[in-house]
């Protein structure tokens, strides 16, 4: 009888600095804290995804297309299994913390909820509708993953484990994601004469150990993160770590809105507060104060303060609320023009 495949194990077909390993070998590695504590992590292979952002010129009504770089880095096969396994360990503890603090309906991103942005936006708009006269405050972080403070992440990680400091295995995983190194994919493939369009072509890995030393390391292709902040996007654990980083902040925000029978939602770096109108400016200031302690910053260009009031039986706002790609005027929900235009441009 075949053993059931654990949730953390996934066979990855891409080329990297190491060879893929089967479930049995992966299990022996990831379930041994001593092996993980001594495991040498390979550099990530990085590339940039170009995403198109659409903005509307209010004076002319024309749409402007702005290209935005989104850096992605993917880890070696053994490294990915370790990240996925430790992500599962941390996720189980994190979910218990959310339930304990009544945050299970507030934290929306990077969890197995079986819902999409459509559901999250609709539920938030329904909350506003049910409250009637109220205010919504939408805040957004600037360069979220790039600015996560390493010391705060380590402290949050240890707190989740109920420890004063990280155990040696967890610390090695933490170190690999904070003092991470990476190699640009295009530069790497060019140095090793690997085709971008047909990279495998008989290959099972990017290069062997000797080639790694002479063609990658000694040629200076490896770039190391020497700052005290930022984690790479793309590893199987990075998204969860961003949630763990925010846990104490989320607790504070939830406690605050609960006092006034309000609601708090966070989708990665997008926060939404739904509170009585008289608290509109207070909650924005309260959040901004606590954000400073996280050593991240709010993007003022994306801050929205919207008040909803009743005119007869109709709930209206002086300006539509934008949230997760949708817009709400108190009665009707619309798809943002930029979201629709992005779809049109992509197709």
**292-310, pLDDT tens digit by residue?**
899 998 888 889 999 999 9
d(CA 119, CA 140): 20
Token digits for 222? 């490896």
**338: DSSP letter:** H
pLDDT at residue 143, as a whole number: 86
The mean pLDDT of 268-293, rounded to a whole number, is 93
Contact 193, 200 (CB under 8 A): no
Contact 9, 23 (CB under 8 A): yes
C-alpha atoms less than 13 angstroms from C-alpha of 326 in its C-beta half-sphere: 17
pLDDT at residue 344, as a whole number: 39
Sign for the CA dihedral angle at 232, 43, 86, 229 comes to negative
* 101 Cβ neighbours under 8 A, 6+ residues apart: 250, 251, 254
| Poorest-pLDDT segment among 75-79, 89-93, 280-284, 338-342 | 338-342
Query: How does pLDDT run across 196-243, given as a tens digit for each residue?
Result: 989 998 899 999 999 999 999 999 999 999 999 999 998 999 999 999
pLDDT band with cut points at 50, 70 and 90 for residue 54: low
* 164 Cβ neighbours under 8 A, 6+ residues apart: 158
The mean pLDDT of 129-135, rounded to a whole number, is 95
Is the pLDDT at 1 greater than 80, yes or no? no
Q: Can you tell me which residue has the tokens 């199987």?
A: 236
pLDDT band with cut points at 50, 70 and 90 for residue 4: confident
Is the pLDDT at 185 greater than 90, yes or no? yes
pLDDT at residue 52, as a whole number: 66
Distances (CA, A) of 299 to 58, 79, 131, 260: 21, 33, 28, 26
pLDDT band with cut points at 50, 70 and 90 for residue 336: confident
Query: How does pLDDT run across 105-125, given as a tens digit for each residue?
Result: 999 999 999 999 999 999 999
pLDDT at residue 341, as a whole number: 44
Is the pLDDT at 324 greater than 50, yes or no? yes
Is the pLDDT at 247 greater than 90, yes or no? yes
Is the pLDDT at 11 greater than 60, yes or no? yes
Query: How does pLDDT run across 57-99, given as a tens digit for each residue?
Result: 556 666 666 677 788 899 999 999 999 999 999 999 999 999 9
Report the predicted TM-score, pTM, of the whole model to 2 decimal places. Answer: 0.90
d(CA 162, CA 245): 15
pLDDT at residue 57, as a whole number: 59
């Amino acid at each position: 009888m075949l053993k059931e495949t654990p949730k953390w194990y996934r066979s990855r077909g891409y080329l990297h600095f190491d060879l893929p390993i089967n479930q049995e070998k992966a299990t022996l590695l990831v379930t041994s804290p001593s092996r993980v504590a001594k495991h040498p992590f390979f550099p990530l292979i990085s590339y940039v995804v170009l995403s198109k952002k659409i903005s509307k010129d209010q004076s002319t009504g024309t749409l402007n297309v702005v290209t935005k770089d989104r850096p992605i880095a993917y880890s070696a096969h053994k490294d990915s299994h370790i990240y996925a396994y430790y992500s599962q360990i941390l996720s189980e503890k994190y979910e218990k913390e959310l339930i304990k603090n009544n945050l299970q309906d507030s934290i929306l991103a990077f969890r197995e909820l079986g819902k999409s942005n459509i559901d999250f936006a609709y539920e938030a708009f329904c909350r506003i509708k049910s409250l009637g006269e109220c205010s919504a405050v939408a805040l957004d972080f600037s360069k979220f993953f790039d600015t996560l403070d390493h010391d705060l992440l380590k402290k949050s990680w240890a707190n989740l484990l109920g420890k004063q400091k990280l155990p040696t295995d967890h610390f090695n995983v933490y170190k690999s994601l904070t003092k991470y190194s990476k190699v640009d994919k295009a530069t790497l493939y060019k140095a090793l004469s690997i085709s971008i369009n047909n990279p495998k072509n008989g290959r099972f890995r990017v290069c062997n150990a000797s080639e790694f030393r002479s063609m990658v390391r000694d040629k200076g292709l490896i770039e190391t993160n020497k700052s005290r902040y930022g984690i790479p996007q793309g590893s199987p654990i990075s998204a969860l770590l961003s949630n763990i980083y925010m846990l104490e902040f989320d607790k504070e925000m939830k406690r605050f809105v609960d006092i006034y029978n309000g609601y708090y939602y966070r989708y990665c770096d997008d926060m939404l507060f739904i509170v009585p109108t008289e608290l509109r400016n207070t909650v924005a200031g309260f959040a901004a104060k606590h954000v400073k302690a996280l050593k991240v910053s709010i993007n003022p260009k994306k801050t929205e303060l919207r008040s909803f009031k009743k005119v007869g039986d109709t709930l209206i706002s002086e300006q539509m609320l934008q949230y997760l790609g949708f817009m709400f005027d108190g009665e009707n929900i619309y798809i943002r023009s930029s979201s629709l235009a992005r779809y049109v441009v992509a197709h």
